C-alpha cells in the first residue's frame, strides 16, 4: 500500500480462517507491519476466535468492553458528538504503558462515514532506520517512562470535551504507575529495531525531568510520523485492519463530525519490550 508499511490482502475469508490464511497474514505482518482485508463479515465472537489464532487474547484494562463480549471494545463516535476528541486521535501505540503492551490489534469496521475517519499508521522501523548512526547509538541504551495518564488521576478534567461513546476508566491510580520501556525496541520475530515512544504515553527519559527530556522527545515524536513512513486507510464497512503495535504508531483522523463511526477492536497479549543489546 505504501513503501514503508501497509498491505492489502485479497481473497481471504477470515470468518472461517484456515491455518494457511493465518500463516499468510503473519508473513505479511512481518513484512509490512499492518495489513488490510476488505469485506469481512465477523461477529464479535468470530473476531475473538480469529484474534486467538494469532496469540493469547488480551482483555484490555481501563476501557469498558462490549456487552457480553469482555474481549472486544467498541471504538465509537456518535454523529451527535461534535467538536470533541476521538478515541485514538493522537499518534500512539496501543497501551504502550502496560508492563507487557499488546502485540497485535485487530480493528473491524462496522459502520464508517462515507468520507473521513481514515486511520494512519507509521512504521517505526523506517523511522529508526532513517536516523543517523550517531543518533541510533545515542538512543540505543535509553529507556523512557510511559504512563496511562488519560485513565489516571492526572487525566482529563471531568467535563472535558472527550467522547462519551468509549467508556474509559478515569482517576484510576494504577494507570499513574511509571513503566520503563526501551526507547528503541527490538522486534521479537523480525529482529528489527523500531522507535518505541509516542506523544500520548511517553513522558520523559529515565533519570531526566520532563523539561530535560522534551527537546529530544519532541524531535522523536515529529520524526516518527514523517509522511514517508506512513500509510493511510480509507475504511469501508467490513474492512479488517491487523497491525503490530511493536513496530508501528497509528492515528485515527477526527474529521467526521456529524457522522457515526463504529469499529470493534481486539488485541493479542505482547511481551515486555526489549532494547538493543
Tell me if 231 contacts ligand SIN by CB under 6 A. no
| Catalytic residue chosen out of the listed positions 94, 151, 204, 244 | 94
Looking up cell 493511510, which residue turns up? 232
Active site residue 226: no
The Cα 209–Cα 240 span in angstroms is: 40
- 181-210: which residues touch ligand SIN (CB under 6 A)? none
Residue 23 is a catalytic residue: no
Alpha carbons 127 and 228: distance in angstroms, whole number: 9
**Which residues 112-131 are close enough to bind ligand SIN by CB under 6 A?**
119
d(CA 229, CA 116): 21
The residue within the footprint of ligand SIN, chosen from 265, 266, 270, 273 (CB under 6 A), is 265
Environment class of 260 (CB within 10 Å of its CB; exposed 0-12, middle 13-18, buried 19+): middle
Residue pair 236/36 in contact (Cβ under 8 Å)? The answer is no
Stretch that binds ligand SIN, among 38-46, 86-94, 184-192, 194-202 (CB under 6 A): 86-94
Which is closer to ligand SIN, CB of 75 or CB of 131? 75
Q: What's the CA dihedral at 60, 100, 119, 157 to 10 degrees?
A: 60
CA distance 168 to 127: 31
108 tagged catalytic? no
Burial class of residue 214, CB neighbours in 10 A (0-12, 13-18, 19+) = middle
Q: Does 94 bind ligand SIN (CB under 6 A)?
A: yes
Strands 7-8 and 34-37: parallel
Q: Does 144 bind ligand SIN (CB under 6 A)?
A: no
139 or 233: whose CB is closer to ligand SIN?
Answer: 233
Nearer to ligand SIN, 4 or 73 (CB): 73
Give the nearer residue to ligand SIN in terms of CB position, either 238 or 275: 238
Q: Which of 14, 127, 231, 252 binds ligand SIN (CB under 6 A)?
A: 252
Residue nearest to ligand SIN (CB): 88
Nearest approach, Cβ of residue 202 and ligand SIN (Å)? 16
CB atoms within 10 A of CB 109: 22
CA 215 to chain centre: 24
Instruction: Identify whether 222 is a catalytic site residue.
Output: no
Query: Which residues are the active-site residues?
Result: 92, 94, 250, 265
Q: Which residues bind ligand SIN (CB under 6 A)?
A: 75, 87-88, 94, 119, 250, 252, 263, 265
Amino acid at each position: 500500500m505504501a513503501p514503508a508499511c501497509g498491505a492489502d490482502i485479497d481473497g481471504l475469508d477470515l470468518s472461517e480462517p484456515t491455518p494457511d490464511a493465518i500463516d499468510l497474514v503473519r508473513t505479511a505482518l512481518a513484512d509490512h507491519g499492518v495489513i488490510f482485508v476488505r469485506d469481512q463479515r465477523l461477529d464479535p465472537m468470530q473476531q475473538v476466535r480469529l484474534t486467538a489464532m494469532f496469540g493469547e487474547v488480551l482483555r484490555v484494562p481501563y476501557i469498558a468492553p462490549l456487552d457480553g463480549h469482555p474481549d472486544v471494545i467498541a471504538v465509537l463516535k456518535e454523529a451527535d458528538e461534535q467538536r470533541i476528541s476521538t478515541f485514538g486521535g493522537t499518534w500512539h501505540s496501543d497501551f504502550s504503558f502496560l508492563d507487557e503492551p499488546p502485540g497485535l490489534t485487530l480493528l473491524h469496521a462496522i459502520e464508517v462515514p462515507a468520507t473521513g475517519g481514515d486511520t494512519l499508521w507509521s512504521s517505526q522501523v523506517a523511522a529508526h532506520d532513517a536516523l543517523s548512526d550517531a543518533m541510533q547509538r545515542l538512543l540505543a541504551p535509553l529507556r523512557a517512562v510511559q504512563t496511562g495518564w488519560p485513565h489516571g488521576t492526572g487525566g482529563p478534567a471531568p467535563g472535558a470535551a472527550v467522547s462519551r461513546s468509549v467508556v474509559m476508566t478515569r482517576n484510576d491510580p494504577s494507570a499513574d504507575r511509571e513503566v520503563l520501556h526501551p526507547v528503541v525496541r527490538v522486534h521479537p520475530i523480525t529482529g528489527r529495531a523500531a522507535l518505541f515512544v509516542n506523544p500520548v504515553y511517553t513522558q520523559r527519559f529515565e533519570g531526566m525531568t520532563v523539561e530535560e527530556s522534551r527537546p529530544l522527545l519532541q524531535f522523536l515524536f515529529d520524526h516518527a510520523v514523517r509522511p514517508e513512513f506512513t500509510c493511510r486507510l480509507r475504511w469501508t464497512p467490513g474492512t479488517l485492519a491487523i497491525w503490530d503495535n511493536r513496530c508501528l504508531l497509528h492515528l485515527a483522523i477526527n474529521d467526521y463530525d456529524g457522522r457515526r463511526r463504529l469499529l470493534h477492536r481486539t488485541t493479542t497479549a505482547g511481551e515486555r519490550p526489549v532494547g538493543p543489546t
